[in-house]
Amino acid sequence: MKLLVRLFLPICLFIAASCFSQTNVEKINDSIISVYKTDPQKSLAFLLKLNKNIANSKRYDKGLTTNNIAIIYRELGDFQNAKKLSQKALTITDDQKIKASAYNNIGAVNRSLGLYEEALENYLEALSIYEKSNDRKSENTVINNIGNVYSYLGMTDKALEYFNKAKENSVKLKDKKGQSEAFNNIAIIYANEGKLQQALDYFKFSLDVENDLNDKKGIAESANNVGVVFYYMQEIDSALYYIEQAVTIEKSIKNYTAISSSYNNIATILIENNRIEEAEKYIDSAYSIANNAKITADIEAALETYSNYFEAKNDLKSALAYQKKLIAFKDSTLTIETNNKVAELEIKYETEKKENQILQQRAQLAEKDLEVRRKNTLIYGSLGLALVLALLGYLFYSQQKLKNRQLQKESELKAALVKIETQNKLQEQRLRISRDLHDNIGAQLTFIISSIDNLKYGFTDISEKLGSKLSSISGFTQQTIYELRDTIWAMNKENITLEDLQARIANFIEHAKNASEQTDFSFTIDNSVTEAHDFSSVEGMNIYRIIQEAVNNALKYASADKIEVNILKVENQYRIEIIDNGIGFNQAAIDMGNGLNNMKKRAREIGGSIEITSNAGDGTRIVLILK
């Protein structure tokens, strides 16, 4: 049945476009826009023909058709025409539904071009209109898009807040496309955080939905994402299968901007698997397409792949040159100032929303007050001067009380705004420092590791002692990167939940297992512990470092074959236990080293205490107690 519809519909659209004067233009637009993703070129041709024959006096029909043409141009990667036509649609019609769609389309174009501040401003305009018109499905689409802006800016917590809201709304609305987009966006964040199985499950759900909807563009995007996760999981054959499947579909609908992303993914996989020469043509194509379309994310990806490509060829000079190009390009599109402006826009939007609500409440209060006055005048007007004076006194008292209440509300609002401004400044400092650490020190450490590895394998006659020394330097540098990432993770979060801490500890223990296969590790959290409990970023980082130090000591000095990490809650206190069955030590006979002293110092800094129990031959128990 679907196949018949797809074959028959273009004929119907051609007839409708030819005799539009006898046919409702809005219905023609709805028919065309419902199938444009399966054949965007034909849909564009029909709409252009229809738009040419619509009289300029028919502002609604002209604005609707113009904006739908802009949407198809965006899907085809022609961002300049897409933006220009949606802006034109805003000037043609006063219809709020068309204006909201135009703002949303302009926001999507600006997001693709890396203009994140402008994109958020456009999306908020669209969201405001959809909220007023109670168009929940369209409102949910914009919520998804706002989440994408925060995701591109690296503001993961904010992005997840919007994506989860979009997911919940889509389920309530039974909107399959909305569910697919929300699950797909959440999966991207999971993949970036290393939660690969969760990401794969979400991407596969999205792919199943897109197949049911027969949305070729959506199928290609989801297939590409499934392939990328398989690549992260080192299942290379599956990765190439899904990404090549995506390329085939993207070529069939001539979606060249998506082809750029898929080509870049294929090149990365080939480089990782030492098929270096095959990768070059894919990188060149990906970079050329991304540059022509000015797609920020794909340009960044291609520059990074170029750097990896030349590094794999041992052309370190070219590799470093492309790494510098990448950092310069990122600096030109994503700055702390941009993040601040984005935050200010959302605050402005929320503030205006609250002010409108306050104004409405004031109007309602004024109406009620006026009604009371009229009734009082009718009932008590004949009671004489004494009652009139009493009434005037009562009215004066009511007005003064209302004024005081309004002043109190304004004072509370100002205090809230001051608090938000302070938090923004603190966040600005965190972002600046973490960005400097990531872009400068992180890149340099990564380059050092690569150079050391190339040096080791580049000289066959290198001495065993020098080789061991180079391996030691490489391992130390790699450990420094892990610690740098932990620090950036903590700095980017204002608060750290027990759930966040659990994921970080589990990841560390997994690394420890790989480093010491003969040691049995266990990590448990008691049912009495609430995963949503918040620690400050300083508390969370110190807890993590104490556990890390205790486990490392057990591995290095205790000769333990079993290490336990337990988190439980006893009488409103959190107890974190690190227990090993190693050789132990006599506390009275040895001096406390830097490691044990550092743990005690970290515990004091967060208002906690450390209990260390150990005897020679009986293992060691370290307990961190927090209120």
* Phi, psi (degrees; rounded to nearest 5) at 618: -110, 10
Question: Using CA atoms, how far apart are residues 466 and 43, in angstroms rounded to an integer?
Answer: 66
CATH superfamily of 1-134: Tetratricopeptide repeat domain (1.25.40.10)
- Tell me the mean pLDDT per 10 residues along the chain, length 627: 27 39 64 64 83 83 89 86 92 91 92 87 91 88 88 85 88 86 86 87 89 87 88 86 86 79 85 83 82 78 86 84 83 54 54 58 64 73 78 81 80 72 61 55 61 65 67 68 67 77 86 82 87 83 89 86 91 90 79 75 90 87 91
Q: What separation in angstroms does the CA of 164 have from each of 521, 585, 587?
A: 34, 50, 51
Q: Of 305, 339, 335, whose CA–CA distance to 323 is shortest? A: 305
Those residues whose C-beta lies under 8 Å from the C-beta of residue 478, and which sit 6 or more positions away, are 449
383 DSSP assignment: G
Cα 54 to Cα 25, 50, 72, 120, 146, distances in angstroms: 9, 7, 19, 33, 34
Residue 605 structure tokens: 């800094």
CB 13 within 8 A of CB 28: yes
DSSP string, 235-302: -HHHHHHHHHHHHHHHHHTT-HHHHHHHHHHHHHHHHHTT-HHHHHHHHHHHHHHHHHHT-HHHHHHH
pLDDT of residue 465: 66
Among 290, 293, 295, CA closest to 267: 290
**Sign (positive or negative) of CA dihedral 468, 470, 474, 476:** positive
Q: Where in the chain is the domain with CATH 1.25.40.10?
A: 1-134
Residue type (1 letter), 608? G
| Cβ-proximal residues to 113 (8 Å cutoff; 6+ apart), any chain | 79, 294, 295, 296
* CA of residue 505 relative to chain centroid, distance: 22
Q: Are 93 and 64 a contacting pair, CB within 8 Å?
A: yes
Residue from 341, 267, 347 nearest 307 by CA = 267
Can you give the length of the chain in residues?
627
Q: What is the pLDDT of residue 103?
A: 94
DSSP run (H or E) holding 514:
helix 498-515
CA neighbours closer than 13 Å in the CB half-sphere of residue 527:
0
The dotted CATH code for 496-626 is 3.30.565.10
Identify the burial level of 82 via C-beta atoms within 10 angstroms of its C-beta, where 0-12 means exposed, 13-18 middle and 19 or more buried: buried
Which residues of the chain does CATH 3.30.565.10 include? 496-626
306, two tokens: 């170029």
According to the model, what pLDDT value does residue 83 have? Answer: 92
- pLDDT of res. 12: 38
Angle at the Cα of 227 (from 307 to 439), degrees rounded to 5? 30
DSSP 381: G
Burial of 201 (0-12, 13-18, 19+ CB in 10 A): middle
d(CA 43, CA 74): 13
- Full strand arrangement of the beta sheet holding 609-614: 520-525, 562-570, 573-580, 620-626, 609-614
CA gap 338, 98 in Å, rounded: 29
| d(C-alpha 128, C-alpha 125), whole Å | 5
Check if the beta carbon of residue 457 is closer than 8 Å to that of residue 496: no
Phi-psi region of 58 (alpha: psi -120 to 50; beta: other; left: phi over 0): beta
Of 508, 586, 496, 587, which is closest to residue 546 (Cα–Cα)? Answer: 508
Rounded distance between C-alpha atoms, residue 460 and residue 19, angstroms: 78
